[in-house]
């Protein structure tokens, strides 16, 4: 309750949360929310590159499709992609970090060196190379992003696990003969949970951005998917005449990522008293 | 003892701070008199308001604190009325020097010691000289500042004074750092030095050395010093006069021999009885230190006092002078005959 | 100091070696048929067989790795399928452009971000502070490729005050080669027309790229200053009578810059990653647009070489950051 009260006092974080609620709502009910469902995929040359109007709220694209409807549908895609990427990265990174941090075995050390190697190249560059390697398409882009994002989770969990492991109460529990699995599940995992949740929230926003870059570079989604990054790439040819074509998908990215970042910052301030002073 | 012959005097100081749970009275009726050429101890447990007292003198009370009442007399002025700018230009580091509590935290780790110690001289000038205009010092002045610092450093018995100025804080031990900070306080020859528990962070042997040094420096330079501590042993070793504080109130003050030898206030008596000579915490006194959010009415010690009577909870006891220069705020003692002394 | 640099260098080597193993695995082991992958999508079986023999894919893996290791050591990164030139030569040719762009962005981000963050902390909870917070959070949420397009639309297409793409206008010759950085080279050769033209071309790409970094630096400086202002040495400095302004702009800032510098190393990775899309949009002839080209042409060798080179630069920048840190904070050099 006290946490909730503190959170509600942090206005930017509340705004972030509100944005996320709206975006998730749009994502879930996207197919029913599109103002012109018939103009999502079907091209209509007669109506191409129309500026924003009452009929087409955000205007139409080069094939006469309703940009507003496509942005709404794109929300669903972006959320699904980033959620899967973050979930997969967590599924790989969290156990590895726990294992390496808790056992301090040679294999654990080796895994953390592997993490170092992955972190020695910017994530996007490595993701580009891997996506290229396993083939084009949305699935492989997602896989590439997850394969390059797990080290961040592994490192967060690793350092947190190390910290908890050397905390007095864990040593006391070991002395009392508590089983390893029990200590790990009941005592270590809850402590690790909050930094992981913070990292996952910020990771959602970050992944939406990198997915958009991949889409923009033609590695992720492919036409006629209503992908934000892809739409911006397509819009370039119709500048400066059809500014709305580029504008609205980009604004959608901005608002969504802003929501996750604001909310993630607020969460971090809540769970990490060391950083709380920074705001 | 009156305010007139004092070098610095605090009179009926009350300070509150706004917290999430309400207004906390951290100082309620704090009095203190420092006479020239003497060392005055302020003794009390943690949280009794002694550090706030120091901050109030320096004009560095934290945000959200409010001075409700009181005066800080110094050189014919009330320091509480001075502007922040005047405090920075004329008082802090120039008229009043400061020795901090924790020498490990007080020096900025990424600057050379000499650059930091030189800072006071740069803004306040060498003793007896005007301060350089807007802190601009030419090479020759800087060299004179440096030479002066080296001489002060040898006065505080820091070895290799010349080289020490070019080193970084982490290259010194705790005792050496405290010597550096004492030198920093002395370097501008202030009229008063405020020392905020300067030996608490040090180990026992180093504590003794620093106390001995301060005693020597006090005699050699005729220092006037306010020395805050929680340790009656330190007071006995170092101080001439002492003020005992409890929960933001001054309960007793007077010459060290008198206060320590024949304590009048029940709190001082219990405190001294716990452990005659050593660091005393309140282990032996039943009850707990009251919260500044809801202090007891009247004498704040009354809920824990064995001599308490109903009158103690009704009003703040008047200050009386049962022995020569030895004042106490307690209903056990009859009020002074001469109202003039009471007013002091 | 030299010992510190050497030890720090030694620490960087394992990760770099690991990176080589990783790129090797990606190049030779993961693809079902690396020869086919190398030959490209439209290769004939004969071409594939020729490549298999030429690259020694019939040898045991460890031998292949040794060969790869030797090649990388000799800066032999293979031949690009697209340009038909050695990849190493391509990268060497394009690297200065990327360095010029990323460093311009980094310098701009630092020069603006540090004062912005400091002022926001000094005027904590003021309107200025809130604006800086909003702008910095938004700066991290903007897709740089979208921002680049919006800038192009506004300043090149609508108002026509800044050039749309490239490093120099066609018709203006690049300055004589000293460093490969046009700004420096044109200044050194006293070629001011070229210098001004190069600056005009640099403004939008560098600004686009710097946005995220600026936000990060401002945020960390703000947090660092706020944190440092709580430190005992600040209250001591006040009690010892240093003027307030000097405490903030000399003593507090120095400590906060140390905190922000740590971020700059990490930031550089983000800058290089960001340079991929930004270079592509502004047609900036650096390794970022080279990587995009390599992706479009399925040029494995080129893209893995870029990965390797970026890892190398990243390691070098982080080393440099640690050296700067050791210079700023004497305790750092002693902890390693």
C140 with A261: Cβ contact below 8 A: yes
Query: Which of A42-51, B114-123, B325-334, C89-98 is the least confident region?
Result: A42-51
**Domain end point (choices C32, C47, C73):** C73
pLDDT for the residue A277? 37
Domain ranges within chain B, ordered by starting residue: 108-180
pLDDT in tens, C30-82: 665 666 666 666 777 777 777 777 766 777 778 888 888 888 888 888 777 77
By Cβ distance, the residue of B88, B105, B106 closest to C243 is B88
Q: Is B123 on the interface with C (CB under 8 A)?
A: yes
Q: Provide the shortest C-alpha distance from residue C227 to chain B (in Å).
A: 14
Q: Does B58 touch chain C (CB under 8 A)?
A: yes
pLDDT class for B280, splitting at 50, 70, 90? very low
Quick count: other Cβ atoms within 10 Å of Cβ C265? 18
pLDDT the model gives residue A273: 54
Let me know: does B233 contact B278? Beta carbons within 8 Å.
yes
> Are there at least 3 beta-carbon pairs closer than 8 Å between B and C?
yes
- Taking CA–CA distances from B110, the nearest residue in chain C reads C329
Give yes or no for residue B282 having a pLDDT over 50. Answer: no
| Cβ–Cβ contact B98 with C under 8 A | yes
Task: Tell me: pLDDT of A85 over 90.
Answer: yes
Query: Closest approach of chain B CAs to the CA of C250, in angstroms?
Result: 10
Domain shared by C40 and C119, yes or no: no
pLDDT at B128: 76
| Shortest CA gap C144–chain A (Å) | 9
Q: How confident is the model at residue B76 (pLDDT cuts 50, 70, 90)?
A: confident
Measured in angstroms, the CA of C7 and the nearest CA of chain B are apart by: 22
Contacts of A43 (CB under 8 A, 6+ apart): A63, A64, A65
The pLDDT of residue C147 is: 92
pLDDT digits (tens, 9 = 90+) for C111-148: 999 899 999 988 888 889 888 888 888 888 998 999 99
- For residues B303 and C334, which has the higher predicted lDDT (pLDDT)? B303
End-of-domain residue from the set C73, C103, C125: C73
Same domain membership, residue C165 and residue C69: no
Please give the residue that has the higher pLDDT: either A63 or B211. B211
A130 interfacial to chain C (CB closer than 8 Å): yes
**pLDDT score of C27:** 74
CB pairs under 8 A between B and C: 78
Nearest to B88 among C232, C241, C254 (CB): C241
The pLDDT of C239-257, averaged and rounded, is: 85
Residues C195 and C276 in one domain: yes
Number of alpha carbons in the 13 Å side-chain half-sphere of residue C199:
8
pLDDT over 90 percentage in chain A: 27
Per CB-CB distance under 8 Å, the chain C contacts of B91 are 241
What's the mean per-residue pLDDT of chain B? 84
Expressed in percent and rounded to 5, the helix, strand and coil fractions of chain B are 40, 25, 40
C227 three-state secondary structure:
helix
- pLDDT for position B1: 45
Q: Does B103 touch chain C (CB under 8 A)?
A: no
The strand ranges marked E within chain A are none
Whole-number pLDDT of residue A200: 92
Q: State whether C165 and C289 are in the same domain.
A: yes
The verdict on residue C81 lying in a domain is: no
Q: Is residue C197 part of a domain?
A: yes
Q: Identify the residue with better confidence: C333 or A9.
A: A9
Q: What percentage of chain C carries pLDDT values higher than 90? A: 16
A239 contacts in C (CB within 8 Å)?
Answer: 149, 152-153, 157
Touching partners of C (3+ C-beta pairs < 8 Å): A, B
Residue C207 and residue C155 in one domain: yes
Residues C191 and C315 both lie in one domain: yes
Q: What is the pTM for the complete model shown?
A: 0.81
Choose among A205, A179, A220, A201: nearest CA to A266: A201
A172 contact C CB<8A: no
Min mean pLDDT across A36-45, A126-135, B226-235, C87-96 is at A36-45
Token couple for C217: 């630096």
DSSP C9-74: HHHHHHHHHHHHHHHHIIIIISSS-HHHHHH-TT--HHHHHHHHHHHTTTS-HHHHHHHHHHHHHT
Q: Tell me the average pLDDT across B256-260.
A: 88
Q: B335 pLDDT exceeds 80?
A: no
**pLDDT at site C30:** 63
CA distance A87 to A91: 6
The 3-state DSSP class for residue B226 equals: strand
Would an 8 Å CB–CB cutoff place A132 in contact with chain C?
Answer: yes
Residues C159, C264: one domain? yes
Residue in this structure with the two tokens 């001289």, named with its chain if needed: B121
pLDDT score at A117: 87
pLDDT of residue B343: 43
What's the pLDDT score for residue B342?
Answer: 46
CA–CA gap between residue C119 and residue C248 (Å, rounded): 10
Check pLDDT > 50 for residue C276.
yes
Instruction: Name the average pLDDT for chain C.
Output: 84
Residue B59, Ramachandran bin (φ over 0: left; ψ between -120 and 50: alpha; else beta): left
Cβ–Cβ under 8 Å, residues A45 and A64: yes
Cα distance from A178 to chain C (closest Cα, Å)? 37
Q: What is the pLDDT of residue C116?
A: 92
DSSP state of B242: E
Judgement on whether residues C154 and C299 belong to the same structural domain of the protein? yes
Give the span between the Cα atoms of B45 and A46, in whole angstroms.
85
The answer, for A10 touching chain C at a CB cutoff of 8 Å, is no
Across B251-260, B280-289, B302-311, least confident range: B280-289
Answer whether residue C78 is part of any domain.
no
Residue B98 has pLDDT above 90, yes or no: yes
CA distance B33 to A162: 54
Quick one: average pLDDT of C154-172? 83
% of chain B residues with pLDDT over 90? 11
Amino acid C148: pLDDT: 92
For residue B279, the model assigns a pLDDT of 45
Residue B249 has pLDDT above 50, yes or no: yes
Which domain does C16 fall in, by range? Answer: 2-73
- Neighbouring subunits of A (3+ Cβ pairs under 8 A): C
Which residue do the tokens 């008199």 mark?
Answer: B33
Q: Among C73, C106, C132, where does a domain finish?
A: C73
State how far the Cα of A28 lies from the Cα of A73, in Å rounded to an integer: 10
Tell me, yes or no, whether C67 and C140 share the same domain: no
C302 closest CA partner among A132, B57, A181: A132
Is the model's pLDDT at C228 over the cut of 90? Answer: no
Q: What are phi and psi of A246, to 5 degrees?
A: -80, -35
The structural domain count of chain C equals 2
Residue C80, domain member (yes or no): no
Q: Give the pLDDT score at B137.
A: 81
Per-residue model confidence (pLDDT) at position B48: 83
Q: Which partners does chain B have (≥3 C-beta pairs < 8 Å)?
A: C
Say if residue C136 is in the same domain as residue C208.
Answer: yes
Residues C182, C280 within the same domain? yes
What are the chain B neighbours of C248 within 8 Å (beta carbons)?
none
Please report whether residue C250 resides in a domain.
Answer: yes
Residue C84 lies in a domain: no
Query: B277 pLDDT exceeds 60?
Result: no
Least reliable range by pLDDT among A261-275, B316-330, C101-115: A261-275
Q: Is A73 helix (H, G, I), strand (E, B) or coil?
A: helix
Assess whether C295 and C200 both reside in one domain.
Answer: yes
Nearest to C273 among A12, A122, A218 (CB): A122
């Amino acid at each position: 309750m006290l946490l909730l009260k503190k959170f509600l006092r942090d206005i930017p974080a509340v705004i972030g949360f509100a944005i996320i609620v709206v975006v998730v709502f749009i994502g879930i009910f996207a197919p029913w929310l599109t103002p012109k469902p018939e103009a999502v995929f079907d091209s209509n040359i007669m109506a191409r590159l129309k500026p924003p109007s009452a009929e087409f709220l955000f205007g139409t694209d080069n094939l006469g499709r309703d940009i507003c409807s496509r942005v709404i549908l794109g929300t669903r895609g972006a959320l699904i992609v980033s959620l899967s990427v973050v979930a997969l990265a967590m599924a790989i990174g969290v156990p590895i970090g726990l294992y390496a941090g808790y056992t301090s075995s040679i294999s654990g050390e080796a895994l953390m060196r592997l993490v170092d190697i992955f972190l020695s190249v910017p994530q996007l560059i490595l993701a580009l190379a891997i996506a290229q390697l396993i083939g084009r398409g949305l699935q492989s882009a997602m896989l590439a992003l997850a394969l390059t994002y797990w080290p961040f989770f592994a490192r967060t969990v690793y350092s947190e696990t190390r910290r908890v492991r050397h905390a007095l109460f864990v040593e006391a529990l070991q002395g009392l003969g508590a089983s390893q699995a029990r200590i790990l599940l009941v005592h270590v995992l809850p402590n690790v949970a909050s930094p992981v949740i913070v990292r996952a929230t910020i990771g959602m926003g970050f992944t939406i951005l990198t997915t958009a870059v991949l889409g923009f570079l033609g590695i992720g989604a492919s036409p006629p998917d209503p992908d934000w990054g892809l739409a911006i790439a397509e819009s370039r040819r119709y500048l400066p005449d059809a500014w709305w074509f580029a504008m609205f998908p980009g604004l959608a990215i901005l608002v969504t990522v802003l929501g996750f970042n604001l909310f993630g910052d607020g969460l971090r301030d809540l769970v990490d008293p060391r950083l709380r002073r920074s705001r | 003892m009156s305010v007139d012959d004092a070098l610095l005097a605090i009179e009926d100081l009350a300070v509150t701070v706004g917290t999430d749970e309400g207004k906390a009275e951290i100082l309620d009726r704090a009095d203190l008199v420092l006479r020239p050429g003497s060392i005055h101890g302020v003794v009390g447990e943690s949280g009794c308001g002694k550090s706030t007292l120091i901050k109030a003198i320096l004009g560095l009370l934290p945000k959200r604190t409010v001075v409700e009442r009181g005066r800080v007399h110094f050189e014919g002025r009330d320091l509480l009325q001075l502007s922040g700018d005047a405090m920075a230009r004329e008082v802090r580091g120039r008229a009043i020097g400061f020795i901090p509590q924790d020498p490990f935290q007080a020096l900025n780790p990424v600057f050379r010691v000499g650059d930091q110690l030189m800072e006071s001289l740069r803004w306040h000038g060498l003793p007896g000289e005007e301060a350089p205009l807007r802190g601009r010092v030419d090479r020759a002045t800087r060299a004179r500042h440096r030479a002066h610092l080296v001489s002060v450093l040898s006065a505080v018995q820091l070895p290799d004074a010349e080289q020490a100025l070019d080193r970084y804080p982490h290259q010194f031990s705790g005792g050496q750092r405290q010597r550096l900070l004492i030198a920093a306080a002395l370097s501008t020859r202030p009229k008063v030095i405020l020392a905020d528990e300067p030996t608490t962070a040090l180990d026992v042997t180093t504590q003794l050395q620093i106390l001995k040094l301060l005693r020597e420096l006090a005699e050699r330079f005729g220092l006037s010093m306010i020395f805050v501590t929680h340790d009656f042993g330190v007071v006995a070793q170092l101080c001439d006069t002492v003020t005992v504080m409890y929960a933001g109130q001054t309960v007793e003050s007077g010459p060290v021999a008198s206060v320590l030898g024949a304590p009048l206030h029940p709190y001082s008596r219990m405190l001294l009885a716990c452990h005659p000579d050593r660091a005393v915490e309140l282990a032996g006194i039943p009850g707990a230190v009251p919260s500044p959010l809801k202090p007891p009415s009247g004498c704040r010690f009354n809920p824990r006092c064995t001599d308490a009577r109903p009158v103690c909870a009704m009003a703040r006891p008047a200050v009386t002078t049962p022995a020569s220069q030895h004042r106490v705020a307690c209903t056990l003692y009859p009020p002074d005959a001469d109202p003039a002394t009471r007013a002091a | 100091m030299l010992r510190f640099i050497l030890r720090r260098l030694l620490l960087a080597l394992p990760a770099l070696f690991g990176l080589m193993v990783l790129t090797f695995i990606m190049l030779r082991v993961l693809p079902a048929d690396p020869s086919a992958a190398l030959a490209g999508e439209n290769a004939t079986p004969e071409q594939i067989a020729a490549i298999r023999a030429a690259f020694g894919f019939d040898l045991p893996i460890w031998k292949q790795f040794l060969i790869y290791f030797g090649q990388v050591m000799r800066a032999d990164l293979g031949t690009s399928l697209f340009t038909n030139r050695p990849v190493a030569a391509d990268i060497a040719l394009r690297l200065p452009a990327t360095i010029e762009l990323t460093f311009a962005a980094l310098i701009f981000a630092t020069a603006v971000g540090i004062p912005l963050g400091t002022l926001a902390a000094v005027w904590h909870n003021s309107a200025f502070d809130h604006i800086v917070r909003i702008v910095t959070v938004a700066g991290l949420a903007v897709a740089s490729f979208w921002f680049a397009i919006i800038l192009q639309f506004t300043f090149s297409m609508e108002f026509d005050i800044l050039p749309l793409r490239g490093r120099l206008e066609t018709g203006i010759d690049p300055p004589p080669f000293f460093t490969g950085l046009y700004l420096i080279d044109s200044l050194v050769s006293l070629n001011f027309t070229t210098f001004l033209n190069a600056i005009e071309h640099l403004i939008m790409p560098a600004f686009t790229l710097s946005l995220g970094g600026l936000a990060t630096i401002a945020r960390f400086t703000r947090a660092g200053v706020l944190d440092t202002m709580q430190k005992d040495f600040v209250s001591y400095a006040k009690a010892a009578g240093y003027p307030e302004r000097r405490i903030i702009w000399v003593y507090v800032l120095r400590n906060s810059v140390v905190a922000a510098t740590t971020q700059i190393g990490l930031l550089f990775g983000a800058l290089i990653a960001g340079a991929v899309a930004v270079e592509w949009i502004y047609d900036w002839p650096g390794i970022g647009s080279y990587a995009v080209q390599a992706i479009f042409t399925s040029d494995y060798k080129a893209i893995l070489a870029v990965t390797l080179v970026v890892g190398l630069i990243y390691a070098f920048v982080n080393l440099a950051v640690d050296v700067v840190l050791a210079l700023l904070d004497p305790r750092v050099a002693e902890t390693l």
